[in-house]
Amino acid sequence: MTDCLFCKIAAGEIPADIVYQDDQMVAFKDIAPKASVHILLIPRKHIVSLAELEPGDSGLIGEMLLKTQQIAAEAGLKEGYRVIANSGDGGGQEVPHLHFHILGDVRDDNWVGF
Ligand code: AMP
Ligand code: ZN
């Protein structure tokens, strides 16, 4: 989609601190981190949210969740990490392009901290 912030980041049209990318996905540091490590992982394909996923997206989503292992390891998260996907207004989603938040060092946070 042309007028989508995260599509523009994926296309390199808006700068971001990219930590991983391949032909299917891009991971970059959140501009307003809510934890000492806060990375967003997005598909290059414009999918609005989990609620708009189609059966054909299952492989892509599986690859993305698997890739969180490598991204977290490269970010130094030896003790674990949290993955969050806000979906729609009721889920607190602000950017309408599917993204997984990858967070480290969240032990003192509650589950709905942002
Ligand atoms: P959500 O509320 O789940 O839609 O999360 C959107 C996230 O995108 C927030 O954590 C923002 O801080 C982050 N964000 C917004 N604009 C940018 C940007 N240009 N680069 C990196 N992260 C961004
Ligand atoms: Zn998009």
pLDDT digits (tens, 9 = 90+) for 16-63: 999 999 999 999 999 999 999 999 999 999 999 999 999 999 999 999
Residue owning the nearest CA to atom 15 of ligand 1: 31
Residue-wise pLDDT tens digits, 78-89: 999 999 999 999
CA 33: distance to chain centroid? 12
Q: Cα–Cα distances in Å, from 36 out to 55, 60, 106, 111?
A: 34, 27, 8, 16
CB atoms within 10 A of CB 19: 17
Q: What six digits make up the tokens of 8?
A: 């523009």
Asked if residue 68 belongs to a domain, the reply is yes
Atom of ligand 1 nearest to the CA of 96: 4
- Atom nearest to 93 CA in ligand 1: 4
What is the domain count for the chain?
Answer: 1
Number of H helices, E strands in the chain: 2, 5
The answer to whether the pTM exceeds 0.85 is yes
Residue 113 placed within a domain:
no
114 located within any domain: no
Query: What is the model's pLDDT at position 107?
Result: 75
**In a domain? residue 79:** yes
Residue 111 lies in a domain: no
State the residue range of the domain holding 16.
Answer: 5-104
SS3 81: coil
Instruction: Indicate which CATH number applies to the domain containing 79.
Output: 3.30.428.10
